Amino acid sequence: MSDRYLIIGLGNPGRKYRNTRHNVGFMTIDQMARSFHEKLKKGKGPYQSCKVIYRNQSIICAQPLTFMNNSGLAVRELVHYYDIDLSRLLVVYDDADLLFGHIRLRKTGGTGGHNGMKSVIQHLNTKEFARLRIGIGSDIAKKDMINFVLSGFSKNEQKELDFIIDESVNAALCFIRDGIDNAMNQCNQDLLQRSP
């Protein structure tokens, strides 16, 4: 097995979807690449990726180009191509069950009704990999989930979005630096610290 890490952000390719709620996984990977002065390039499979070095650790940052519902096809190819141990895989995606501004790292888990994660779990044939959920939720989501996740952020949310994406990148790096257990203790929080 390779000693590399693989961080995959889920989303939909194309300008139409670039700034939608469903693409916060893509946004996180974009920001991670920028912070290391790297650019994502088309890979040998249905994905784009780049390599960064963090504390002497080699990290593959990637985005599937299969559209959300078939994300698992690209994830499986990336895992096999780079020979990644699943303990070194982190999948980053939006979660409508979490309030906007919350992030949650988990060691394992189900799909939470997220079609991208359904595809990843199906193609990897396991739930045993770490994931970073980025909250996009609101009451509107429950009424019209498809249109909600494909909509843009409100003006107020946009003011906080860069900070949330930066903190999501920090959580991914914390996973690599300190391991999933420590990263969960440090990073699982409401970033906006709402008043009661």
Is position 22 annotated as part of the catalytic site?
A: yes
Residues 6+ apart with CB under 8 A from 126: 86
Check 22, 80, 102, 114 and give the catalytic one.
22
Mark 146-181 as b/e (b = at least 16 C-beta within 10 Å): eebbebebeeebeeebeebbebbbbbbbbbbeeebe
Active-site amino acid positions: 22
